[in-house]
C-alpha cells in the first residue's frame, strides 16, 4: 500500500500558533505605520491650505479675508475663511479634515454624536455648521488663527483689540501660525491662556482659553501647522505658546521655558511632551 503524506493536526496547530505570534508582533508596528502615514498626509494637506490662502491674497491685493462683520458697507458681512477660500478648495470636506480627525461633533441634522467633553475630542472634526454664504453644511478639523484677518478699520472683531496680521508680507511670518488643528474653524489665542486640563477638553464658551481649541493630541504630542510664510511642519503642543499669534503676543510668556513654567504645572496628559 502507498503511504499518503501530509500535515498532522499537531503540525497545523504549531503553524497557526506561529502565525498568530507573528501577527501579535506585527500588528502594533502596522498601527504605528498607519498613524505615521496619516501624520504625513495631514502635513501634506495643511501645506495645501497655505497655497489656498496665498492664492486668495494674490487675488485680493495681498490682503487677508475680512472675517465675520469685517466688511464695510455690505450686507454680506460673513467672509470667514471657509467661505472666502471656497472657490479654491471647492467646498470639499475631505480637504478640511485632518486624516486623524474626520468624525464630526454633530450629524448634518444637528444630532450630537456624544464626543463632546471626552478624549475623543482631540480627533473629532468641528461641524456640521452652515453660516451665511456657505454653499452647504461644512465640517472640518483645521482652524485658522483668528488674528489673520483684515476687518474694516476701527471694527473691534469679537471685541478684541486691533492685533491683526492683515497681510502675509509681515516680518517674522515664519513664526505666525496660519492654519493648524482646531476644534473650531477659528480661534484667538492669548499668551495667558492656560492649557486644557484634560486631553480633548471641549470648548463650551466663546471666551474661554482659545489655545485649548488647537492644543489637541492629533499626532502623539504634535499637530501639523502651516505658517504665514507658507512653510509647514509638525509642532509640539507646548510649542504653541512660543508663536507670535498676534502683534502683542508675548512669545516668552508664562507657559514657556523662558517664562518660568514648571514641569509640574502642565496638565498630567501633557507632562511627557517636549518643553519649549
Tens digit of pLDDT for each residue in 122-138? 888 888 888 888 999 89
CA atoms within 13 A on the CB side of 83: 16
Q: Assess if residue 166 is contained within a domain.
A: yes
Rounded to the nearest integer, the mean pLDDT of the chain is 87
Tens digit of pLDDT for each residue in 91-124? 999 999 999 888 887 777 667 777 766 667 788 8
Q: Assess if residue 4 is contained within a domain.
A: no
Q: What is the pLDDT of residue 2?
A: 60
User: Which residue in this structure is represented by grid cell 500558533?
Assistant: 17
Q: Assess if residue 1 is contained within a domain.
A: no
Q: What is the pLDDT of residue 123?
A: 83
Q: Assess if residue 2 is contained within a domain.
A: no
Q: What is the distance in angstroms between the CA of the first residue and the CA of the last residue of the chain?
A: 79
* Total count of domains within the chain: 1
> What residues make up the domain containing 67?
11-270
Among 206, 157, 216, smallest CA distance to 182 is for 216
Q: What is the pLDDT of residue 4?
A: 57
User: What is the Cα–Cα distance from 37 to 31, expressed in whole angstroms?
Assistant: 10
Residues of the chain below pLDDT 50: none
With beta carbons less than 8 A apart as the criterion, state whether 146 and 176 touch: no
The Cβ of residue 91 has, within 10 Å, a number of other Cβ atoms equal to: 16
Grid coordinates representing 180 are: 493648524
In order of 2, 6, 27, 144, 179, the CA distances from 225 in angstroms are 71, 59, 29, 10, 6
Q: Assess if residue 236 is contained within a domain.
A: yes
Amino acid at each position: 500500500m502507498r503511504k499518503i503524506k501530509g500535515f498532522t493536526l499537531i503540525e497545523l496547530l504549531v503553524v497557526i500558533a506561529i502565525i498568530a505570534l507573528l501577527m501579535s508582533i506585527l500588528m502594533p508596528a502596522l498601527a504605528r505605520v498607519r498613524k505615521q502615514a496619516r501624520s504625513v498626509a495631514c502635513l501634506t494637506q495643511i501645506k495645501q491650505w497655505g497655497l489656498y490662502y496665498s492664492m486668495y491674497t494674490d487675488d485680493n491685493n495681498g490682503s487677508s479675508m475680512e472675517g465675520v462683520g469685517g466688511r464695510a458697507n455690505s450686507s454680506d458681512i460673513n467672509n470667514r475663511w471657509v467661505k472666502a477660500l471656497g472657490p479654491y478648495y471647492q467646498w470639499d470636506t475631505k480637504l478640511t479634515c485632518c486624516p486623524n480627525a474626520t468624525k464630526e461633533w454633530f450629524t448634518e441634522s444637528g444630532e450630537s454624536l456624544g464626543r463632546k467633553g471626552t478624549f475623543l475630542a482631540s480627533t473629532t472634526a468641528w461641524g456640521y455648521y452652515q453660516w451665511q454664504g456657505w454653499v452647504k453644511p461644512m465640517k472640518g478639523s483645521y482652524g485658522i488663527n483668528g488674528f489673520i484677518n483684515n476687518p474694516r478699520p476701527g471694527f473691534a472683531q469679537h471685541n478684541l483689540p486691533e492685533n491683526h496680521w492683515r497681510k502675509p508680507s509681515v516680518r517674522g511670518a515664519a513664526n505666525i501660525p496660519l492654519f493648524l488643528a482646531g476644534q473650531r474653524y477659528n480661534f484667538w489665542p492669548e499668551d495667558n491662556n492656560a492649557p486644557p486640563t484634560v486631553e480633548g477638553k471641549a470648548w463650551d464658551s466663546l471666551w474661554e482659553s482659545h489655545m485649548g481649541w488647537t492644543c489637541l493630541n492629533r499626532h502623539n504630542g504634535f499637530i501639523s501647522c502651516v505658517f504665514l510664510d507658507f512653510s509647514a511642519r509638525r509642532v509640539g503642543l507646548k510649542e504653541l505658546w512660543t508663536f507670535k499669534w498676534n502683534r502683542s503676543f508675548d512669545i516668552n510668556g508664562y507657559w514657556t521655558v523662558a517664562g518660568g513654567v514648571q514641569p509640574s504645572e502642565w496638565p498630567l496628559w501633557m507632562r511627557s511632551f517636549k518643553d519649549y
